[in-house]
């Protein structure tokens, strides 16, 4: 006979019923300030989002900051130093064209860097589990299978799709997985660190426009800088010529200016004077210049060299006796 436990019930007590279950808990009401989680907040890639998910950048954006800084610095120096001079001496169209190119380059750069390049969403857990079951049913091995493929017909052509183990889906044609951003990008071209983003279907046109406009802006700035330097050099040469001309006019305006012009501007005159003084040049009427003005030097009159038009006396009078001994 099976032993059983029992206890005495006092008279007048109600018979015990089944164990009472705890009252059901009231359903939790969601907090009033709790909002649904957005997709970019649960994004599994390595991108960073700004402005409520409207702007996205790659995980490493240091090179993009360098690119933006170089463009801003170069253009800023050009607008600060070259444009005012060229607008004043050539035409006002130069800074206008440069400004249009500059803003177009910056706009294309930001569109390329902060725009979705064509990221394909990953499979949901339920979709990934269902797909894995169908794939595992085709094989019995427990290790990871080689590259899985699936053939589909697109426009009457058989296309082979590859399976992405990270995104848990078969990639469409011309779609590749970026190892830097950890995303599958449609029509993936490459990951450009200078713009800080992948180049794909949705930003390829902006990337192409950025490269083309930046080339035009660089060539335009280079041509303007060369023109600026050329005009500066020409202006400097004109100033030097004006200074020499003013010095020539001032030197020729004195009472003995004609003699000074003869001494200063006759080609080879100092060499000729020196050779004549040493008697090593062509024959002259006298063998020594001192004999031409001996009487003048004896007189000691400072005005006599100017009156006699004697070159040697004039040189001694102006202080060049040590130059031509």
Query: Which residues are the active-site residues?
Result: 192
Q: Which of 325, 94, 126 is nearest to 227 (CA)?
A: 94
Report the distance separating Cα 178 and Cα 71, nearest Å.
27
Burial (0-12, 13-18, 19+ Cβ within 10 Å), 83: buried
Q: How far apart are CA 212 and CA 225, in angstroms?
A: 20
Across-strand partners of 119? 185
Could you tell me which residues are beta bridge partners of residue 151?
Answer: 160
The span from the CA of 70 to the CA of 320, in Å, is 59
234 close to 242: Cβ distance less than 8 angstroms? no
CB neighbour list of residue 26: distance below 8 Å, 6 or more residues apart: none
The sign of the CA dihedral 147, 151, 152, 157 is positive
Residues 270 and 324: their CA atoms lie apart, in Å, by: 8
């Amino acid at each position: 006979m099976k032993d059983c436990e029992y206890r005495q019930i006092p008279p007048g007590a109600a018979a015990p019923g089944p164990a009472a279950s705890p009252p059901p808990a009231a359903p939790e009401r969601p907090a009033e300030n709790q909002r649904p989680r957005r997709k970019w907040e649960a994004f599994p890639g390595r991108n960073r989002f700004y402005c409520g998910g409207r702007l996205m950048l790659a995980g490493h954006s240091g090179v993009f900051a360098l690119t933006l800084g170089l463009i801003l610095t170069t253009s800023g120096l050009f607008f600060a130093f070259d444009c005012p001079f060229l607008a004043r001496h050539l035409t006002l169209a130069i800074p206008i064209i440069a400004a249009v190119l500059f803003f177009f380059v910056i706009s294309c750069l930001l569109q390329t860097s902060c725009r979705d390049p064509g990221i394909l969403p990953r499979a949901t857990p339920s979709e990934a589990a269902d797909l894995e079951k169908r794939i595992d049913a085709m094989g019995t091995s427990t290790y990871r299978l080689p590259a899985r493929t699936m053939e589909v017909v697109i426009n009457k052509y058989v296309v082979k799709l590859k399976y992405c183990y990270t995104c848990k889906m078969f990639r469409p044609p011309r779609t590749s997985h970026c190892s830097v951003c950890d995303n599958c990008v449609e029509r993936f071209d490459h990951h450009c660190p200078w713009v800080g983003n992948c180049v794909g279907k949705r930003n390829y046109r902006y990337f192409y426009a950025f490269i083309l406009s930046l080339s035009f802006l660089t060539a335009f700035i280079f041509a303007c800088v060369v023109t600026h330097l050329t005009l500066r050099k020409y202006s400097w040469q004109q100033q030097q010529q004006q200074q020499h001309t003013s010095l020539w006019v001032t030197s020729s305006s004195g009472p003995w200016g004609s003699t000074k012009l003869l001494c200063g501007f006759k080609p080879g005159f100092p060499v000729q004077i020196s050779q004549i003084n040493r008697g090593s040049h062509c024959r002259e009427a006298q063998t020594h210049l001192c004999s031409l003005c001996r009487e003048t030097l004896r007189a000691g009159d400072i005005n006599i060299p100017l009156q006699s038009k004697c070159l040697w006396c004039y040189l001694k009078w102006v202080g060049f006796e040590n130059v031509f001994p």
